[in-house]
Amino acid sequence: MSLGKLFKNRIWQIAWQLFSRLFILIGLAWLAWGLDDFGGFLSNPVRLAYVTLIVAQTLFIGWLLLRIPPNPDHEQHRDLEHWHYSLVELIYILSAFGDRRNILAWVENPALRWAGLGIYLLGMIYAAWANITWVNHLRREGGSALDNAVLLTEGPYRWVRYPSLLMLAFYGLGFALAFRSWTGLAIFVPLLVTIARRASLWDKDYAARYKKAWDLRARESKRIIPFLY
C-alpha cells in the first residue's frame, strides 16, 4: 500500500483525529505545565482524574467514529472561523501554566477544583449524548439520513440546535476552575460572547440554506441553552 493510500485509509484517519484530540486536550496543558514534570502534573488527584476522563472519552469517540457508516451522505460543518475553539485552547494553556507557577491562581481549594472537573464532566456527558444521537441516526436511516445534525429533533437536538457550543462553554469554565485560574475565568467571558456570535452566524447560514424548514426548526428549538437562548 502506498503512503498516500495508507493515510486515506479510514482507520488511519480516525487514529489521526484521536491523536489530535489527545494533543489538544492533554498535550497543550502538559506543554504549558512543563514537559519535564508530567509526574507533577498528575500528582494532583483532580488533574489525574482529568487525564483519565480525556483518555476514556477519546476511546469512546474512536468507537463512535468506527460506527459511522463508511460513506455517509451527510455534511460536516466546515467553520471558517475558529475563535471559539482557540479561546478554549488558550484557557487550557494559560490555566495549566499558571497552576504550576501560581500565577493569577487562587489559593488551593480542592472542592473548587472538583467542582470544575464536575462541570467539565457535564460537558463530556452532553457531548456524548449529542454524538450518540447523531451516529444512531446515521446508522438507522441510512441513505435517507438528514444531511446535517442541526436538523435533528431528537436527543439534545430536540431543545437546542448547537449542543457543541454549550459543550465548549462547559469545557472552558470547568477547566479554568479545575486549574484554579483567574486568567481562564477572564478568557471565559469573551468565549461566551464568541459562542453567541457563532450561533447567530450559523443561524443565518442555515436559514439561507434550508429556508422554510429552518423557520420551523428555529421556532421549535433554542440555539444553545434549552428554553432560554
| pLDDT tens string 128-155 | 999 999 999 999 887 778 888 899 999 9
Element (H, E) at 104: none
In CATH terms, the fold of domain 3-68+81-220 is Four Helix Bundle (Hemerythrin (Met), subunit A) (1.20.120)
Q: What is the average pLDDT value for the chain, to the nearest integer?
A: 90
For 200, the 3-state DSSP assignment is helix
Q: Show Cβ contacts of residue 152 under 8 Å, excluding neighbours closer than 6 positions.
A: 133, 134, 137, 146, 158
C-alpha cell at position 183: 486568567
On whether the pTM is more than 0.85, the answer is: yes
Residue 72 in contact with residue 138, Cβ under 8 Å?
yes
Closest CA to 148 of 217, 194, 222, 82: 217
Identify the bridge partners of residue 160 per DSSP, sorted by sequence position: 222
Residue 53 in contact with residue 121, Cβ under 8 Å?
yes
| pLDDT tens string 12-33 | 888 999 999 999 999 999 999 9
Residue 186 in contact with residue 121, Cβ under 8 Å?
no
Distance CA 87, CA 191 (A): 6
pLDDT beyond 50 at 6: no
Percentage of the chain beyond pLDDT 70 is 91
pLDDT beyond 60 at 70: yes
| pLDDT tens string 149-206 | 899 999 999 999 999 999 999 999 999 999 999 999 999 999 999 999 999 999 999 9
Residue 99 in contact with residue 178, Cβ under 8 Å?
no
Considering only 38-42, 54-58, 63-67, 145-149, which range has the smallest mean pLDDT?
Answer: 145-149
Percentage of the chain beyond pLDDT 90 is 75
Closest CA to 123 of 193, 198, 177: 177
Domain boundaries, the chain: 3-68+81-220
Question: What is the model's pLDDT at position 28?
Answer: 95
